[in-house]
């Protein structure tokens, strides 16, 4: 009972803090060189809100490969001495991060980190969907959201940053590990700010099989048993921001994720890539 309650609690926390239903690594602005996740003197906080129009495709079989709509963009950063909480929805790879700074010297940082990595899905698609059961996914078990903790090592440069993370699932969802490496660069040009980043992630066999494997209870004539090994993904992200006035900022972004063959060969995966793009406005308080 306690285990079930913990999973449900972590599920709703992750769902709230990853509203865009990302498919893979859900990081925050900790990936960018101007991130604010540094030790502070006492309590500090900052937030912004806005909205945007998005288009995206899906990697699950039977799910419409094209979707669009309006989504709310929220960002909130709270810090107290060496503790911080960051919810970043402006970056397409954004999400919830809770952390503690162990070392912050000479442009190096070492943090303890907690975050969500993978969105859950079931017969109806990704997240808490009110859609009808998708025929191609009928009979699969529910894959829950995970919640992972670990260490993050960062090296900052003038307008760039490289980071390395080792995270392990503590929600008992898949009990696997994830390793993330991400390099980002920020290029100011006149009043524009361009952000680009490239990331490589590796996922343990436990992670890969939990989300993309098929056991004998899920197998059917069109969905064979599938078990695989360690998998990986590569992401590219680009953002552009332009201040319209003192308070309002225009933003646009593009995110592409490519999956390794261990994920792509799964019977419930329709394609080995996923794209998402958006344009919008945010108000900086």
Residue 38: its pLDDT value, please? 56
The pLDDT of residue 13 is 43
Phi-psi region of 125 (alpha: psi -120 to 50; beta: other; left: phi over 0): left
Reported pTM: 0.86
CATH at residue 195: 2.40.230
Q: How many domains are there within the chain? A: 1
| Domain with 269 in it | 2-284
Per-residue pLDDT 10s for the chain (285 aa) are: 434 444 444 444 444 433 333 333 333 356 665 554 555 678 888 888 999 999 999 899 998 878 899 988 888 888 888 898 888 877 787 788 999 999 989 889 999 999 999 999 999 988 766 778 999 999 999 999 999 999 999 998 888 999 999 999 999 999 999 999 999 999 999 999 999 999 999 999 999 999 999 999 999 999 999 999 999 999 999 999 999 998 999 999 999 999 999 999 999 999 999 999 999 999 987
Contacts of residue 154, defined as CB under 8 A and 6 or more positions apart, other chains included, come to: 30, 108, 109, 110, 111, 161, 162, 163, 164
Q: Which pLDDT value is given to residue 4?
A: 44
Neighbouring C-beta atoms of residue 222, cutoff 10 Å: 9
pLDDT reported for residue 94: 77
pLDDT for position 3: 44
pLDDT for 2 equals 36
Count other C-beta atoms under 10 Å from residue 183's C-beta.
Answer: 16
pLDDT at 10: 47
């Amino acid at each position: 009972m306690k285990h079930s309650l913990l999973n449900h609690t972590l599920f709703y926390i992750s769902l709230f803090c990853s509203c865009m239903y990302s498919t893979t690594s859900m990081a925050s602005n900790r990936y960018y060189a101007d991130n604010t996740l540094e030790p502070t003197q006492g309590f500090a906080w900052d937030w912004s809100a806005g909205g945007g129009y998005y288009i995206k495709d899906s990697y699950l079989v039977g799910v419409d490969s094209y979707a669009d709509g309006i989504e709310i963009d929220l960002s909130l950063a709270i810090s107290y001495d060496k503790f911080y909480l960051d919810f970043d929805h402006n970056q397409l790879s954004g999400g919830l991060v809770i952390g503690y700074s162990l070392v912050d010297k000479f442009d190096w940082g070492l943090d303890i980190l907690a975050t969500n990595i993978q969105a859950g899905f079931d017969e109806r698609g990704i997240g808490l969907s009110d859609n009808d059961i998708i025929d191609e996914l009928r009979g699969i078990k529910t894959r829950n959201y995970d919640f992972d903790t670990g260490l993050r090592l960062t090296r900052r440069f003038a307008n760039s940053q490289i980071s390395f993370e080792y995270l392990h699932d503590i929600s008992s969802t898949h009990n696997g590990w994830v390793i993330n490496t991400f390099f980002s660069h920020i290029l100011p040009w006149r009043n524009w700010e361009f952000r680009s980043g490239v990331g490589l992630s590796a996922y343990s066999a436990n992670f890969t099989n939990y989300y993309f494997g098929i056991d004998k209870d899920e197998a059917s004539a069109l969905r064979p048993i599938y078990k695989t090994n360690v998998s990986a993904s590569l992401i590219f992200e680009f953002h552009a921001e332009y201040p319209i006035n003192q308070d309002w900022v225009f933003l646009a972004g593009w995110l592409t994720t490519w999956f390794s063959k261990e994920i792509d060969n799964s019977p419930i995966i329709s394609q080995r890539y996923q794209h998402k793009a958006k344009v919008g406005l945010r108000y900086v308080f």
